[in-house]
Structure 1
Amino acid sequence: MPRPESAEHDYDVVISGAGLAGSAAAILLARRGVRVALLERRSDPEAYKVLCTHSITANAHPVLDELGLVPALEKAGALRNTARWYTRWGWIEPKPSPGGPELPYAYNIRRSVLDPLIRSHAAQTPGVELLLGHRVTGLVREAGRTVGVRASTPDGEREIRARLVVGADGKDSAVAEHAGIRTRTYENTRFGYLAHYRNLPLPDGIGHTWFLEPDMAYAFPNDDGVTVLAVLPDKERLPAFREDLEGSFTAFVRALPEAPPIDAAERISKIIGTIDYPLHNRKPTAPGVALIGDAALTSDPLWGVGCGWALESAQWLAQAVAPAAAGRGDLDRSLARYSRKHQWRLRGHQRLAADFAKARPFNPGEKLVFSAAARDASMARHMHRFASRLIGPMRFLNPLVVAKATAITIRHRGAPVPPAGAAGVKGPEGGRGAAA
């Protein structure tokens, strides 16, 4: 039966933010028969998020597939994000099991390519109206629930009514603020800087991450021959970086084990970053409101999970609320279902990330699993599944895994380890590295 149209609603759903999460949600909702207004505060359709890992974890591959973006991403030069990780016990290098399937993957692709691509797909999806230059300035509320937004537009102020307002507007979400949704904040005692390089070869052409306890770094190859190189040191190093950003950044990278040869590469961007990037948690729903992507949960950038969770949360929302958003069900029950799934899937990951953001060394369970993964192929694949967010912390550190890791560690007791100097990075100020 066709649903009755109502003059009370301009659209079924208004989404604030036409980045990765918002555009994905718009496509997935519209394909399910929902009329969507996709608002983007910036007027440039080519606008993109600058500060990002530029990597989509493998947990989001099914979402990319549902969106129909995989062929477009590969045509745009996106690279499958195979990676290896340095630890004090050596490199963790996941490989497929003999005769088994390839490892799960998604893609590394710069946001300057990804954001316009997915936004264009959203704009071309029947049922989606992309409204550029529309910035949410407030919410329209009736009888204790949100029924629309007020927006600043190129033509002045405008009120847009809808059954559901979706905040896909990032960690400083205006929708969350206007809805009065409380933000829980966790301190991040690392800071981060990144830069883009061309002609920066990496062994096997794959991504590299360095766990230096407490410092971190990564190098991710991207489309068009560009590598994103990032450092995430403990804030004890911050004075040196403030005094000489370029010198400190370069010295840090040069000292990495198997350091990328940045002196022979071409840096094609400024060194950009942030000295304060706390983790945020918000309840992902309120009456008439849903939050997705960083608006609902902002994790530690060192894990590179933001893009994957943005896509997944957009899919979870569309699956849960589409019929009700189109007027064919109970919206509050649908929002509760989305909220439960969001918190069930991501709460454990965020707790672990918030704990690790204290720049602590590995705890005993992590030591066992990481050291075993550097020595055993099946444990390396287990590590890959967790890094790809295909399993949660409970499965990552479950008793059977810890027992297996213990056995591997005992078997390799007394085996040679990397030289002490290789496991730590000493910058201009002689900062901390990993314990031997």
Structure 2
Amino acid sequence: MSTPERSTVDVAVVGGSIAGCVAAIRLRQLGFEVAILDKKAMDDQSHKRLCTHFIQPHATPVLADLGLAHLAERPWSVPTKAVFVTPGGLVEGPGPYLPGEQDLSALNLERRVLDPALRAAAREHGVQYLDGTSVEQVEEDETGWTLDTTGDHGHRRFRARLVVAADGRRSRLARLLGNPTEEHPNDRAALFGYFTGVKTREDERSVFIMNDRDLACVYPLVEDRTQFVLFAEKSRVEGWHGADGRLGEFLAYFGDLPDAPPVADAVPETGLLGYADYPNQVRRPVVGSVPFVGDAALSLDPMSGIGCGFALVSGDLLARSFANRSLAGDDLAEGLAEYRRRFEEVLLPHAEGIIRDALVDKDEASQQRTFRIICDNPALSQKYLALTGRMVLPGEFKRDLMRALMTRGSAGRGR
């Protein structure tokens, strides 16, 4: 048997999607030699198709740090802000997502634009990007890691001081390294469709319509295109059979929503995409000396719209944790500990609410009362938008909501 070709880097990032590219670029900016190993063979246009493309405002500043600030502008994306049609009224705050903060927008940035741009940026920063390269085995010793790979480059062996797991929801490294998957049910199915001929809001807000226990989403895209996304109870869509039948039922659903744009002139670009079952998955952000980023760490209900944002932020948090540190000894241990702390403080608190929202057994009367209070209180409406944009933590919003509930209760007793 021939001896595999050997390569040595400081950091081997396993997985080259959003989180992997962000971690690789940001670590390269710190001066480390970095390689990305991705099992998929990709051309210049390869991208993920099943995505809402809605990047929450908390994550958009990361693009500038990657040298990709232009992606936050036309013609690359549509800067937008969320509008919620709720059982208690409309949540649509003026101005920025969070008063006193930078006027950040969410972005409807399609993966057909973002994914190739990230790969190109990685290469421009000097990251080795090796697609068609599958990691078959990893082994750690006192000086670092050995990774045995196969693929388009033949058999190749890498030595690295740090291995980053960015290999997605079905993370192979999680299995190899014993990072267990904590799984929680998701009671909704999802359908995604792209259309032309739809007249959306002139202010290009993205509209989220709560309908019974479903969420219907309208995203304005570049080139006068629109993405409709439906997160619905599984029983609602189980009878939508066949490509034409599903598309007809899908458009009829949006057509029956008074707050959705008219669909009479909607022309589908492609067939519907979607999934029937997508349970929430949570893994530890660090196992041994390996950090996990993106979907390899948190893969949550896409209804929350956090997939792209959490991928951008987790890759950035990892790199920030190694600023002014080496990848050896105490520096390595301290960097990993800091990443774990940052991850648990910044991202993990949102997971509880997202996991709870993936269940449909909610008290509808209670939901209506809660949203009436939110809609009647401009400051609370603004805070709700900031929460959905992941710019404040759930605990802060809950405290403000409880104050509003108590204030309303006191006013009612005083009458």
Task: Provide the secondary structure at the position in 2 that maps to 1:59.
Answer: coil
Q: 1:229 to 1:288 in 2, by over 3 A?
A: same
Range with bigger deviation, 37-46 or 77-86: 37-46
Q: How does 1:166-181 map to 2 (within 5 A)?
A: 166-181=164-179
Contact 1:368 1:409 in 2 (8 A): no
One-letter amino acid matched to 1:320: S
Give % identity: 29
Alignment of 1:340-379 (within 5 A): 340-361=341-362, 367-379=368-380
Q: What is the alpha-carbon distance in structure 1 between the residues aligned to residue 364 and residue 10 of structure 2?
A: 48
SS of 1:96's equivalent in the other structure is coil
Distance 2:100 2:287 in 1: 45
TM-score by length of 1: 0.85
Q: Summarize the alignment of residues 20-419 of structure 1 with structure 2, pairs less than 5 Å apart.
A: 20-43=18-41, 44-96=43-95, 103-126=103-126, 128-142=127-141, 147-204=145-202, 205-242=204-241, 244-324=245-325, 326-327=327-328, 329-361=330-362, 367-398=368-399, 400-405=400-405, 407=407
Q: Which runs of 5+ in 1 are unaligned?
A: 1-7, 413-436
Distance in 2, Cα, partners of 1:364 & 1:29: 49
- 2:88–2:370 Cα contact (<8 Å) kept: no
**Structure 1: distance between partners of 2:278 and 2:347:** 19
Q: Could you list the runs of 4 or more consecutive aligned residues of structure 1 that deviate by over 4 angstroms after TM superposition?
A: 99-103, 322-329, 362-369, 405-412
Mapped partners of 1:26, 1:201: distance in 2:
40
Q: CA offsets per residue over residues 369-420 of structure 1, 9 Å max, x none?
A: 522332332222111110110011101111x4322255469989xxxxxxxx
Q: Contact 2:218 / 2:260 at 8 angstroms: preserved in 1?
A: no
Normalised by the size of structure 2, how large is the TM-score? 0.89
Please say if residues 213 and 361 of structure 1, whose CA atoms lie closer than 8 Å, have aligned partners that are also in contact: no
Q: Partner amino acid for 1:358?
A: L
CA distance in 2, matches of 1:121, 1:82: 27
Instruction: Evaluate the alpha carbon distance shift between residue 100 and residue 284 of structure 1 in structure 2; reply closer, same or farther with a 3 A threshold.
Output: closer
Q: What root-mean-square deviation, in Å, do the aligned CA atoms of Structure 1 and Structure 2 show? A: 2.6
SS at match of 2:21: helix
> Is this contact kept in 1: 2:166–2:292, CA < 8 A?
yes
Q: Report how many aligned residue pairs link the two structures.
A: 402
| Aligned-partner SS, 2:257 | coil
Shift of 1:26: 1.0
User: 286-295 or 386-395, which moves further after superposition?
Assistant: 286-295
- 1:292 is aligned with what amino acid? V
Q: 1:333 to 1:213 in 2, by over 3 A?
A: farther
Q: Is the 8 A contact 1:95 1:103 kept in 2?
A: no
The CA deviation at 1:364 is 8.3
Q: Closer, same or farther in 2 for the Cα pair 1:196/1:250, shift >3 Å?
A: same
Give the 3 Å change call, closer, same or farther, for CA 339–242 of structure 1 in structure 2: farther
Query: Residues 333 and 109 of structure 1: is their aligned pair in 2 closer, same or farther, counting only changes over 3 Å?
Result: same
